[in-house]
Structures are given as structure tokens and as C-alpha cells.
Structure 1
């Protein structure tokens, strides 16, 4: 019986994957935009089972996201290994209209620590990559507006310049490499250079990150070109499969050869459900390819990424099961947890109350582009349950604590404990849609310790609460979850679920204590 693996290999908001192999070990990283820590790094022995070993950008000195708008921040990193050193290069998008600044960091151990950023001057574009040639020289590739100007909207070219590894700056002449395979396609980006059997291969993304996304390739005998496009371009896309296909938006690829000579491609894609809605964001998929007459043929005979595919010719290396319930017993937060933007003022603690996560109420609100008192994780399944135990005594109508389902600051659900205007404790569900808020329901409660739960079955999200874990009361059933998709909210990120506390604009020394948080997939039935 053929052993199969399940796509995506990293479910949930893990876009723009980049991969490298060092001996028998594989390392993979993805984008994180406005979330902190930045750039999760994963390790695998078999390309299918991945275990997170750290974050590349885990210190405030490396990543200052203060004031960074939603879906800006860290874009499309690339990981490479050369002479005992790991390199990660990425783009920091400062604002909606501001600079795109590129930098790289290094480490001798992929689990970290990683260096402080080396900011590159005059490094245009987004989605940069590094290429190390056989002579040891390093080169930067990125995208930019062609020197002759744009012929149509979002018309870009791929360019290259040498990187001096000692000076840690770009040096020498710049080279225009390729304007892509599809002259009416837009957003030529995400370049990766490789040298394979005497050819330099350039793989890029074209068509944007949505439904028309694609992977194209060109090659040259010379590093600086000219590059010849493959006549089979795009070598991978799903746009011809229609908008109702199970997997859409396939593109943004990186490739790796196994120690046994197999070739594999990681790429991003989305799994829309309930229509063309992608609450899970852009995820990481894996697909094999072979070389025919010097060009890649992806998933021969089918040409697409499938939900289930034959396992690589590598020994299966299962990783420890991630616990569904976090009891907050560790000295540091588990790697699944993130904050929005760089955390300031030590708003959370694992030590002030044993086996609890304490969130201190900050004036900042999750409805604004700030660093609120929020600790969350990715939604990774279409059908899921998330629940928590919280102890909180609000002191005013402004103080809130509870569970948040978040797409961005303008699109979210908040299940909050707070006070009513007459001073009684209540639990309420707030829907924020396009920046407009509506309290869907509120109920009186008596206890300071509450249990909150959300269950999603497709795009139907139901909310429950209880004064003990075994007796759930329905708060609001079957509300439409589509506002948690980027197709409604805009941007590039997937939905998050987490714990939140705020004093809504006033200074407070109050806090909410979370005993545990549980997330698990639900069966479709």
C-alpha cells in the first residue's frame, strides 16, 4: 500500500514558504506580517512532518513593528545555508505607502539565536532571495519597476546584484534578469535562483497572491542572463481549475533536492470554503516534480497539488503530538503563540500566578493598529473548537477580558466578560465588521471564573459560555464567519484565535488570569 501524506503540510496562516536542506535535515520558514515573534522556523527529516524549533526574529531589537498596519511588516523570507552559516533574508514593509526595506540575519544554529538585522542599502523590491554560486560569491535577487518603465499595472522585473558577505552590503553593477513568462500577468516577484547541472534556474511568482497566482521558470547558461522562459510556463498554477476547487491560489514556490535525488517544491495555496472565502489564509503545500529535458514537470500526469499525495522516499519521522490544551505550566510561551506587533510593557506573565497566563489590562484596544494585550494562535482547520478558562473581575464598564477571533482590527468577534451600565457582570458577543460594531447578545453572569468556547463548522461559528467546564450554555449560534476571511477583510493574513484583555483607553492595574486554552480540530460530522 502506498503511503500518502496530507496537504497542506503546514495548515493555517503559513504563507510564502522557503526551504533548504543541510545533510539529512530540512528547514522551512514562512511570512508573519504584523505578528510577533517573526518568521517561524520548522525542522523536518521527511518533508511532511514539521516541528517548530524557534522564530528567526524573536527580539524587539530585531523587529520593531510599532505602528505597522495590518498585513504589512515581514514579507516572504528566504532561508539558505552556506559554509556553516544559515541566512534568512526578508522584506520589512513599513506602511501602506512607505518604504520596503530589505535585510538579512544569520545564525550558526537554525534554532537560534539569530543575529541583529543587516539592513541593505539600495535593495529595491520585495520578496528578496540569496544565491550562493559555486565560487562562493553571493547574490541578491528581488523585484523592481523595470528601468524602462511599467507597460501595465504592477509590471515588474527581477533584478540581481552581488552581496559582499564581509561588508554585508550590495556591491557592483545591477542586472536585469527577467520580466516573467506571462506578459499580461502582474506582480512578478518572489525570485529564487539555483544552479543545477550547468544551468542557472530562476523561479518566480506571477499573477498576484490570489486566484491567478502561478509559478514560472526561466534558465540561462550565464548567471547574468539572458534568461529563457520555459515554454510550459506556468509550471504550476490552479487558476485553470476554477474558483470552486478545493485548493486555489497556488504559487510562490521554492524547491529542494532530497539526499536520494528526488525533487520537491513547497508553495503557498488556499483552501476556500463556504464560497470563495479563505479564513485559513494562505497555507504551505508540498508537491513533487521531475526534470524533463532540463525543465521541471510538477506532479507528472496531473500537474496540480493534490490533497493527498505519495510520501517522499524518506524515512517517516513522526514528531511529538502538539498538546491541544495549554495549561501554561512552562517558563516561556509555547511557540504557537503570537502577539500583534512587538510586545511592549510586559503585559503578560507566566509567573505571577502559577500555571496561569496573566494578561494585564492595557489601554490599547484590539480594534486599533496597536500592540494590545492579546496572545493568540492561528486557526488551522475549517471545523474546530477553541475554549478557555478565565478568571477576571472587571472594575468598570471599560474593562474587558475574554476570547477573540481576529482577522484584523476592523473584522473580528469578541466574546467578552465586562460590567453592564448598572454594574453587574455580563458576558457579551461583539461582532466588528468593517470597523462597525454590533453587540449580538449579552447575558448576566455571577461567577468571576468563566469558561468560553467557540465551535466552527465551516462558516457557521457558535459561541458558548459556562460557569463550569461541563455545563455549556449557548450564547449565540451559527453566526456567519466569513468576516474572518481576507476575501472580506482584505490583506494577506489568516484568522487568529486568542486571549484578550483591555481597559479601553484608561490606565488600569487590573488583569485577567487564563488557566488553560484548548484548540482542536472537529470531525466534519
Structure 2
């Protein structure tokens, strides 16, 4: 049985929570402002994973219009109490400054596919909630980090514990701060477990950048006091700057039917001299074991391993490196998402092989923008689309192909028009423009094109560092050949490190897709016939597989 290679969920899949029910494993990850909310993957062998559901998929569950970048749905925790699935998560409406408005909810379902209930609001005292089902007495316990706005710049006050009454649907009894963390600080991401009479509390510390870590503590009583692990941090790359997997932390533990133990955790794989994680925060797995002292240890840890032994055999080739050509016959492919709004019919429709985007607000709007995209999961790839029909009247109407991180970081190849209504191809870009959010100038000169006819738009990214745009027009064979437009851009700005907060404030990942805006307010649509994502095995990639 050959070892598998991390990460097991490449690209933006942060804050993993893992669960086993019988022979089935599930991982839930954060989606932040991307809709629908929460990704749940399924596996039977810990090696091969398939996206099965995004449970927060209707307005009564989730409406994120107005949520800033990297807010929205944080740190889901997926559990099962023997009867049904429980999913707890935070919905964040503000994260910058002294205050964090973070609201914690619970939804349930009889099966992983649903139907998932409408949410119950539990509390708003902090974020990263989880639910612990004590099988010995049947009680349920809710834990979340506590936010204290008075303690700036270190407002992470500790881990709160309170009992949850499933019949009443609310917290009951006293609340106690059971663990204030270690000197690494920024304690969050709590999960509770019980084994051999011990209560174990696994937390994340050190922020989400290069000091990130998994910290373990335990107590005989659920209320504490909790003592920390002999190693303090059971998993971290903070003291190993050249390890393949960096930013390792925010973990969760699972046991296999044959008694083996694993920890899943978020990680990042930096590229370039500026060490930017262009694929965002990904999910990795590590083998662990219980020592004779009843403490959990990471095999060959605490530094995470790139290669790990799990029960299954990783079958990357037919799927991971395959070209994905998305067509639009019935509904969006499960790879594709949009931003914030539950009212998707206001921004797109799918019918008769065409994706129609309805021009709404500007690219990067926090309310209603028409952008449909998929995660970047490879350091090198090509993407292209065909704009079947689009007839802009001026420069305030534009549609096309976009590589996107957030409102401050994107590259956008657009079909638009000049003030006289003559169609042209133009590049819009915003390269690390926080906090102004301005477009970068000068822009490459636009290219005039016919007012009728299809337009083929493409881009290539190599090594996560270099981005080049291309275009071609409908017509004879020579015209249909892709031609370069604009210079080579720095693709690495599509990363957490450039998302507006250098260390601990940008949490998502790079996407690529299609978009449409109408700043005249007339909702002019753009019609796309296809979208293709083509992974490239580029020899220069550090993480080439």
C-alpha cells in the first residue's frame, strides 16, 4: 500500500472537520463568502474524496449579501449522535477592527445529503464552534472561542463551554472559559473528545499564517482544569520554514474501524521567494497514535508529512489531472460556485447549453455580482471560455474571464465597448490594492473587435506565479488561433498573503471563472457556451506530482 500525498483536498478547503459514520468518512470545510455554504466531502478510504453536498443552499439558511471578503461561513464542525448529523458553524458579518460580529448556528439532517434544517441560532460570543456528544450520559456540549474586544490586539480570550439542550434548542446552565491557550496565543478552533476517562481539547493557535499550530490539552472533568500536552503543540510547521507543508493547524481527529487514528488539518504550500500560498488553505491528513501516557502524538511529528500511510490507495491520475469542460445543459456543475446571494436567479441562469450571466454590480461587490467560478486546485493550468453573445453599449458594461481572489485582487479579461458603442477587449486588474480597491493603471491598450460574433477568452497560469491572457475571434482559422493580450502578470497576488491582511485576515483561495457587470443598471446579460479548466503538469512547479 503506497503512501498518499498531501493535501487530500487541494485548493481552498480550510478548517477541516472530520467524521466517521460506519465505514464512511466525511470532511466539512469553510466556504466563507462563497455560495452555497460549507463543503462536505465523502470518502471510504481516507485517500480519495468526492464533494457530496453544500448543505447551506437556500435563503432561509444563509444570505450573505453585504458580508465583506473572507467573512461569511467559518469553521464548520460536523458530528453525528447516532441518530442524525449535526453541523455547527459561524456566520461572520464583520471581522476587521476591534469587533467581530460572529453568529453561531446549528443545522441537522437525517442523512448527509439532507434535507438540512433551517438554522438554530446558538450564540454570538465568538467563532469556531463545535458540538460534543458525550456518549456516557447523552449530554451535548457547545464550545467556541471567546472574543474580547477590550483585549486588542490580542482579543482571543479563551475557549467557552456550555451545555446545549437539543429539545429546547438552546444553551442552558453556566458558561465557563475552560482554556485560555498557551503563549502562542490566538486560541481558536476547539474540538472536544473523550477517551479512557479523559476529556481532550484540541485547539488551533498562532493565527492562520506561518505560526499556526494544533495544541492539545486534557482534563478528567469536562470543566477542567486542562493541562497541556508535553509537546504543547502536537502539529506545527512554525519551527520548520523549509517543510513542504506550511501554516499547519486547525485540526480534527478521527479513528478508523481497525483502531488507527488520524488528524486532518489545514495547510498551505507557498511558492516563490515571497512565500505566497496561491492555492489558499488546503486540507491535509497525518497519521497519529496514542502513547502509553494517554497523549496523542503525530507520527514523525510535530512537523507535518507530505506523504502519509492511510487505508486507501490514492487514485489521482484519472481525476486530478483531467481536463474539466463545463457545459450548461441543466444546472451548474458541483465544482462551480458564486458569491453571497441565495437568489441565484438574479445573477445567472442555465438553459439549452448556455450559462447566462445577468449584469449586476461591479466585480468585487459585496452584495450582488454575477460571477460563477471554480477553485484553482493546480499551480499551473489553462482556462478558457466562449462568450457566445454579448452586446455592450459602453464601458460600464463588461463581461468575460476572471482570475479572482477578492475585491482587491483579480485579473479580468473583458469584452466591453467604448463610449461610442464599439466593442473592444480590455483588461481590468486590481493587484493588492487594499485598502483603496482601485483598478491598477495604466491598463494595456484595448483591442477593437467586431460588434457581432463569438469571442474566445483564455488565460494560463504557470507555477502559481505567471499569468498570461489570450483571445481569439469567430471567423476563419487564422483568426481563431489564440493571441496574447497584455503582459505577463504576477498571479501570486491571488493569495491569502495579498488579500488585504498580510498575516491573519484573508482566508479563502484563488478562483477562475466568468463574470458580467452592468454599471448602467440595465441588467444586460452575457451568454457563455462553455468553460474549460485544464490542469498542466509543469516541470518547474515545486509541488509537481
Could you tell me the TM-score, scaled by structure 1's length? 0.93
Secondary structure at the residue paired with 1:11? Answer: coil
Shift of 1:328: 2.6
Q: 1:452 aligns with which of 452, 457, 477?
A: 457
Query: Which structure 2 residues correspond to residues 376-391 of structure 1 after superposition, within 5 A?
Result: 376-391=373-388
Residue number in structure 1 paired with 2:508: 493
Query: Which structure 2 residues correspond to residues 245-394 of structure 1 after superposition, within 5 A?
Result: 245-274=243-272, 275-292=274-291, 293-300=293-300, 302-310=301-309, 312-314=310-312, 321=319, 324-344=323-343, 345-351=345-351, 354-362=352-360, 364-394=361-391
Q: 1:514 aligns with which of 519, 528, 539?
A: 528
Query: Which structure 2 residues correspond to residues 424-503 of structure 1 after superposition, within 5 A?
Result: 424-433=422-431, 434=433, 435-437=437-439, 438=441, 439-446=443-450, 447-458=452-463, 459-467=465-473, 471-490=481-500, 491-503=506-518
Shift of 1:109: 1.0
Shift of 1:471: 1.1
Rounded to whole Å, the distance in 1 between the matches of 2:234 and 2:467 is 38
Secondary structure at the residue paired with 1:232? Answer: strand
Shift of 1:319: 11
Deviations 1:106-160 (A, max 9, x none): 0011112210000114x5211000000021110001111589x859723421120
Secondary structure at the residue paired with 1:487? Answer: helix
Shift of 1:330: 4.1
Deviations 1:272-327 (A, max 9, x none): 11222122111111111111121111123x532222222x1347788984763344
Query: Which structure 2 residues correspond to residues 71-470 of structure 1 after superposition, within 5 A?
Result: 71-96=70-95, 97=99, 99-121=101-123, 123-134=124-135, 135-145=137-147, 150=151, 153-180=154-181, 182-183=182-183, 185-242=184-241, 244-274=242-272, 275-292=274-291, 293-300=293-300, 302-310=301-309, 312-314=310-312, 321=319, 324-344=323-343, 345-351=345-351, 354-362=352-360, 364-397=361-394, 398-433=396-431, 434=433, 435-437=437-439, 438=441, 439-446=443-450, 447-458=452-463, 459-467=465-473
Secondary structure at the residue paired with 1:394? Answer: coil
Residues 415 and 424 in structure 2, CA contact (< 8 A), matched pair in contact too? yes
Secondary structure at the residue paired with 2:429? Answer: strand
Deviations 1:214-239 (A, max 9, x none): 00101112111111111111111001
Relative distance call for 1:407 and 1:109 in structure 2 (3 A) is: same
Gaps of 5+ in 2: 501-505, 540-545
Relative distance call for 1:81 and 1:399 in structure 2 (3 A) is: same
Relative distance call for 1:98 and 1:291 in structure 2 (3 A) is: closer
- State how many pairs are aligned: 513
Q: CA RMSD in A?
A: 2.1
Rounded to whole Å, the distance in 2 between the matches of 1:228 and 1:463 is 55
Shift of 1:84: 1.6
Rounded to whole Å, the distance in 2 between the matches of 1:328 and 1:78 is 33
Relative distance call for 1:499 and 1:343 in structure 2 (3 A) is: farther
Residues 61 and 119 in structure 2, CA contact (< 8 A), matched pair in contact too? yes
Residues 328 and 355 in structure 1, CA contact (< 8 A), matched pair in contact too? yes
Rounded to whole Å, the distance in 2 between the matches of 1:254 and 1:523 is 31
Could you tell me the TM-score, scaled by structure 2's length? 0.90
Shift of 1:506: 2.2
Residues 129 and 144 in structure 2, CA contact (< 8 A), matched pair in contact too? yes
Gaps of 5+ in 1: none
Rounded to whole Å, the distance in 2 between the matches of 1:95 and 1:155 is 16
Residues 94 and 100 in structure 1, CA contact (< 8 A), matched pair in contact too? yes
Rounded to whole Å, the distance in 2 between the matches of 1:24 and 1:376 is 33
Shift of 1:347: 2.3
Shift of 1:332: 2.0
Q: Which moved more, 1:445-454 or 1:36-45?
A: 445-454
Rounded to whole Å, the distance in 2 between the matches of 1:408 and 1:154 is 25
